[in-house]
Amino acid sequence: MMETEGVKQLVTSGDRKFSNDCYLAFAHKYRVPVVGAVALGGGLSWMTDMVGNPFPHAYLPEPMLPLSTGMSFLQRMHNSLFGNFLRFYQQIYYLPSLDSVVRQHFNGPNVPPLADLERNTSLLLVNTHISIYYPRPLVPNIIEVGGMQIKPPKKLLQDLQKFMDDAKDGVIFFSLGSNIKCSDIPEKQKAAILSVFSKLKQNVLWKFDLESMSNQPANLKLSKWFPQNDLLNHKNMKSFIMHGGLMSIQESISDSVPLLGIPVFGDQNANLARAEADGFGMKLRVSELTEESFRRAVNKLLTNPKYKQNAEKRSVLFHDRPEKLMETAVHWTEYVIWHKGTYHMRSASLDLAWYQYLLLDVIVVLVVLLGALLLLSNLVFTPVITGALPSAAQTTLVRRVE
């Protein structure tokens, strides 16, 4: 990225007042506050460390782990070790390696370390909301804008509108996002999926990177692209089969559509773990996908009313906000500009060493004081007690003390 012409101009220019680049070195160069945007639901623990936000691993799972809040001892240990490893990796390797890139392109050692610069972040816009994530503590300069990308639905093209309207038994939408090619699905599993679709009463829309396929059933329509948000909003949409991407889950909740997730990588497992815990979705691993398991999952989603009911409940929570999400994001971004940063909202935890934050220094002092008090008590009271006892008793007590 640093080699692109636009970024090179930002590095060398002296008259720019604003940059939307993610590199913190630009904020130092132009003396402007930083607004960060976190795409992962809730953000990894080291991301929220930028504004000193607590991340209690005892009940809050890292977004990359397929865990929920009710963790066992081993899960809590796994969660804590993984989160602290990420922090260690970021501070010891990741940021120092970026520092070398910054020094190379900014021509000198005058730019402070990125580990210091990130602690001056004014605001984090986080892609989540209480309706789709776990309750957790938030400092004032973390603002939840999960679902900000969702726009009011538009009218469908004529042929797609007819396909949806004529589906008296409803429609299933199948999409694995933009990073996964459905044509790369192993032939055995692809045949299993087609077999299940061919026996459904519902129509099926499949976002597929080929125009057609052999043995395509009559109720199946393929396309390289579909207007996902507009489709999910249609009254005949019954379920959404997807890959577990966070924004797709948000759009599904927004329109009260229950989902079946087939996770592939990244945070998709964790996103679907939350969907299962909240009762509006199911998860089916790729390794477990057979004709029987896929049919069972699809039919359960279509026939068990709890999934639709839970999706509707989550949708009400998702939309119950005091203002539109884009207005929220704009307001707080302008707030940072108006006040030249949000230093009045900055957490004092950012100025503490890790051992001070964990109160380890206080614990050590208390342990030393307690030990000294016990030792002093032993020195003071042992002679008094032994002096008041007969000689035989003194000998026995001394032996016991020894």
Query: What's the whole-number average pLDDT of the chain?
Result: 87
Q: Alpha-carbon distance 211 to 63, whole Å?
A: 36
Helix (H) or strand (E) holding 116: helix 114-117
| 3-state percent helix, strand, coil for the chain, nearest multiple of 5 | 50, 10, 40
79-137: per-residue pLDDT in tens?
Answer: 999 998 988 888 888 888 888 888 888 876 678 888 888 888 999 999 988 888 888 89
- The band of 265, judged by pLDDT with boundaries at 50, 70 and 90, is confident
Question: Percent of the chain at pLDDT above 70?
Answer: 92
Residue 17's pLDDT is 56
Q: Alpha-carbon distance 223 to 246, whole Å?
A: 22
pLDDT over 80 (residue 359) = yes
Report yes or no: 173 and 236 within 8 Å, Cβ to Cβ. Answer: no
Q: Which two tokens stand for residue 155?
A: 């009218």
pLDDT over 80 (residue 399) = no
- The band of 237, judged by pLDDT with boundaries at 50, 70 and 90, is very high
Q: For residue 143, what are the CA distances in angstroms to 39, 271, 313?
A: 13, 20, 23
Mean pLDDT of the 209-223 span? 84
Mean pLDDT of the 364-390 span? 80
Cβ neighbours for 201, distance < 8 A, ≥ 6 positions apart:
169
pTM of the model: 0.82
279-326: per-residue pLDDT in tens?
Answer: 999 999 888 899 999 999 999 999 999 999 999 999 999 999 999 999
Q: Tell which wins on pLDDT, 22 or 200.
A: 200
Mean pLDDT of the 41-68 span? 86
